[in-house]
Chain A
C-alpha cells in the first residue's frame, strides 16, 4: 500500500515537472476541447448513476443481513480493499475470508521442532492470580500434605464461591506459597507417576438444561477454562454470552503450531465445541489459519456446528480479540466468551471421557533453549524442569515474548500458556547503540537495513532506548488490525476519561492485543500496563 502511494506520488511529481510539453494550448483545438469536455461530463454522470445504484443494492444487502462475502457479490465493482488484498488460498472453501493488512511478524530464533519430548516436570501448581479479578486470598480447601486427584477442588474465590478451581494432576499438596501482601501465589502439587482422575458423574447432554450444564461445569472445573470479554475474566454464573470465539492458530513470535498440538485429539475438540454451542444463543465461531500454503489440521477444518472464518495476515491476526473485531465486534454491554484450543479439548474430555484431563502440549522455544521442541505435560507445570539447563543471564518467559510473564525456574506455567520462551537478558551498555547497532534487532520501523532481508533475530530484553512522552503518531495503527486508535485510547485511560475509553473501544481489547504496539513503541510506553489499569477501572464501574 505504502509503496503504491509513493509510486503515485513520484509519478505525479514527474508529470508536473514535464509540464512544459503540454502547457502550450493550441487555439485551433478549442472545439475539440469543448466536445471532449462534454463527453467527459456525460461519462461522469453516467458513472455516478451506476455508482449510486450500486451502493443502494449494497445497503439493501446489508439490511437483509448478508455477511461480508455475500455483500461483495452483489456489487458490480470489486471493493478497493479486495483489489489489493492477499489472494484467498485454495483450501478455503466454506466460511468468510479476511485478509488483514496491519501487523508485523517478529521472526525469532529458536522455533520448536515438531517432535514431542517426554515430560520432566513433577510439580504442578494452581495459581489463583492467573485469574483476573480473583480476590488476593481465595479460600484454599486443601492443606499441605493432602492427597488430591486430578479434578479435585483446591480453592475458590469467596466473592464467587460457585466457581471451583481444581487440581490439574493427582498427587500430594506440598506447598501453599504466598506472594506480596500474603496473597495466595501457588498451590503446589507433587504429581503421582500415574495420574488418578476424580470420577465425574455422567451428564446426559441431549436432555439437559443450560442451568444444569452450567452447574456441572462449575463443579468439574470446566467453567474456569472460559474467559469472558470485556476484561478477560472467568464469567459469572449468570452470564450468558452473545457468542463464543475460538482462535485455532497463534501468530505470536515462536508460538506453537496448534495444528500439530491437536493431532489425535479431534474427538475431544469436537465434543468441547458441542458443549460450548449449548451455552450460547449465538454461534460458536472458529478462527482458522489461512496464512500458510497448506490447510490447517482437519480437526479444525472438519469441525461441525460452528461458523468458520479464515484469517490471513501478520501477527496479531491469530489473537482472538482481533478476530472478534472482524467477525462480530463487541458493542455496548455485549459479553462474549473465548477459549484456547487446548482448553476446549480439556472441556471436551470432561464429557467424552468423564475426567478432568488437563494435559497440555507445550512448546519449548527461544534462542537460549537447547533443542527446542514440544513436550507433553499438564497445566501449570514447573518451568525449570520443563526447560532444563539454561545459561546465566537468560530470562524464562511463560508464553510468548510479547505478552508472556517472566518466571524463575522455581515458578510455574500460567494457566492459558502453551509455550515457554527463553531469551537473553540485554543488560549491557552499547556504544552508539541507538545510531549504529552492533547486532541485527527486530523492528517494525523501516530504519534498519536488516529489515529488508529475511532475517531471524536473536533478540534480547534490552529496551533499546529510554521512556519518552508520546511523540510519534500512527505507528500503533500499523500493527493493530482493528478500527481502533490505540494512542488516543491510552491517553484517555491516562486521564481517566471513562466515556472516551469506552467509546474508543477499550472493551474490545486485552493486553495481548496491544502487546505488539508496545513492542513497536518508539517512546517505550508500557501500553499493556496502561490498558489493564483502564480495564480495571471499567470493571469497577460496571
Chain B
C-alpha cells in the first residue's frame, strides 16, 4: 500500500486550507473506498454507494458519446458532400468531433465541478457525486457549435441557482442538466434552436458556404494524418454542396409532414442517428442500450420510462385522430423516429432527485411527461420539440404528485382506524 501511504502524507490540513482539503478528500475517496465501519445500526452495508450509482449512469451513456463525436464530423462532411458513408473518413470525422466535443465536456465539468467543490468546502461537507452525471449529460444535449462562454454561464446558473441554492445534491427541484440547456434556450436562443445550429463548422448551412477550419485542423491534424499515411485530409477550400439542408427531421415534419421528412432522411438513417441534432440524442439504438443497462442494474426507474413511452404514444395517437396539421398526421409510431424522445426518457426523466419519489407517482409523472411533451412538440408553433420543457414542467409538479400519493396512503391508514 505504498500509494496509500504517500497519499495520506500529502493530505492538506482541514482548518488551514479547507478548499484544498475538500479537493483532496474528493479525489482520495475516488481512488480509495474509505475504511469507515458501520456503527450503531446495521453491521453490514450494501456494496452500492452514490459513486457507484452515478458512475453506472455515466457508463450507460458512453455509447452516445462515441457515436456523438463521430456524428458531429459526419454531419459536417455530409454538408460538404464528402464521405457519405458513416465510417468513411472515420479518422477525420472522429478528430473533428472530438475537437468540438472535448472543449464542451471540459467547460461543463470544470465550471460545474469547480462550483461544487467551492460550495462543499464552504459548507464543510464532502463532495457529493451528483454533478458527475449532470456534467456528463450536459455536453450530450448541446449543439456542437455552442459558444463555450455561454455554456459556462448556463452551467454556473444551473449549479448555483438550480442546485446549491436548494441545498446541493439530492435537494434540487429541477433537473440540473436540463436547467443548463433551458438557460441557453431562453437566453441565447439562436445558438440552440432553428435549422442552422445542428451542423458544426460551417459559415452558414447554405450552398457555397466555406467550411470553417481553424489552425488546429490545418496545422496539427493534417500534418499528423499525412505522416500516418492517410490521403484524405481536411480541405479548407471545401464548400457546402447544392441542395443541402441542415433542417432536423422535426422541423421538416412541422413544415410538411412525414413525406417531407422522408424526402430528406431515410427511416433507418433516423433510427440509427446519422442526422443533425444535439450531440448525444440522435442514435436511438445506442440510447436504448444505455436504457437497458440502467433498467437491468435497477439504477433508473423502468416505471418512468415505460409510462413516458405510453404517455407520448397516447398523445401522438390522439393527434393522429385530430389530424389538423401535417405534423399531427405523422403516424404516431414515427414520432419516436425523430427528435430526442429516447434520450429524454432514458437519462433525463429518470433522474431520481427531480422525479416523483413514490412508485405510483413515478407512473403518473412519466405518463404526463410523455403526454405534455408530445403536445409541446406538435402544437408549439415556435419550436418543434418538447421533452426539455415537459420534463422541467413535471419536475415542478413531481412533489405535488407525491403529495397526493402519500395522502392516499395516509387516508387508507386513517380509514383502517375508523373501520
Contacts and interface: CB of A to CB of B under 8 A. Distances in A.
- Do these two chains interact? yes
B331 interface: yes
Interface in B32-90: 32-38, 40-53, 55-56
A446 B45 contact: no
A429 B33 CA distance: 6
Interface string B289-301: 0000001111101
A406 to B, nearest CB: 7
A239 to B, nearest CB: 18
A437 to B, nearest CB: 6
Contacts of B412: 483
B406 A488 contact: yes
Contacts of B37: 425-427, 461-463
B1 to A, nearest CB: 7
B168 A469 contact: yes
Interface in B377-419: 402, 406, 409-410, 412-414, 416-419
Contacts of B46: 441-445, 464, 519-522
Nearest to A479: B46
B409 A331 contact: no
Contact of A528 (B33, B35, B41, B51): B41
Given A9-B306, A430-B32, A19 B41 contact: no
B333 interface: yes
Interface string A368-404: 0000000000000000000000000001010001111
A429 B364 CA distance: 43
Contact of B298 (A429, A431, A434, A446): A446
A527 B40 CA distance: 11
A329 interface: yes
B29 A466 contact: yes
A152 interface: no
Contacts of B297: 445-447
A434 B48 CA distance: 7
B52 A435 contact: yes
A444 B288 CA distance: 24
Interface residues of B, number: 71
Contact of A464 (B31, B45, B170, B336): B45
A477 B409 CA distance: 14
Contacts, number: 238
Contacts of A528: 41-42
A12 B306 CA distance: 10
B47 A443 contact: yes
A213 interface: no
A524 interface: yes
A282 interface: no
A460 to B, nearest CB: 7
Nearest to B37: A461
Given A425-B37, A519-B45, A431 B31 contact: yes
A526 interface: yes
Contacts of B29: 466
A223 to B, nearest CB: 27
B331 A466 contact: no
B363 to A, nearest CB: 11
B366 interface: no
A474 interface: yes
Given A19-B331, A403-B42, A465-B33, A472 B402 contact: no
A443 B347 CA distance: 24
B309 interface: yes
B409 A430 contact: no
B411 to A, nearest CB: 8
A81 interface: no
B357 interface: yes
Contact of A331 (B33, B302, B417): B417
List the 10 shortest-distance A-B pairs measured between CB atoms, nearest first. A465-B49, A433-B33, A332-B417, A469-B170, A503-B410, A441-B47, A331-B416, A331-B417, A473-B357, A443-B47
27 contacts: A5-B302, A9-B306, A106-B44, A402-B44, A430-B32, A431-B4, A435-B55, A437-B33, A437-B47, A442-B46, A443-B46, A445-B46, A445-B299, A446-B296, A447-B47, A447-B56, A447-B299, A448-B47, A448-B48, A460-B44, A466-B49, A468-B129, A469-B169, A471-B50, A473-B355, A485-B409, A518-B41
Interface of A: 2, 5-6, 8-9, 12-13, 16-17, 19, 23, 106, 108, 253, 329, 331-334, 395, 397, 401-404, 406, 421, 423, 425-435, 437, 441-448, 459-466, 468-474, 477, 483-485, 487-488, 500, 503-505, 515, 518-524, 526-529
Given A435-B51, A464-B45, A473-B301, 6 more contacts: A16-B313, A431-B4, A466-B36, A468-B169, A522-B49, A523-B170
Interface of B: 1, 3-4, 29, 31-38, 40-53, 55-56, 126, 128-130, 167-171, 271, 288, 295-299, 301-302, 305-306, 309, 313, 331, 333, 336, 352-353, 355, 357-359, 362, 402, 406, 409-410, 412-414, 416-419
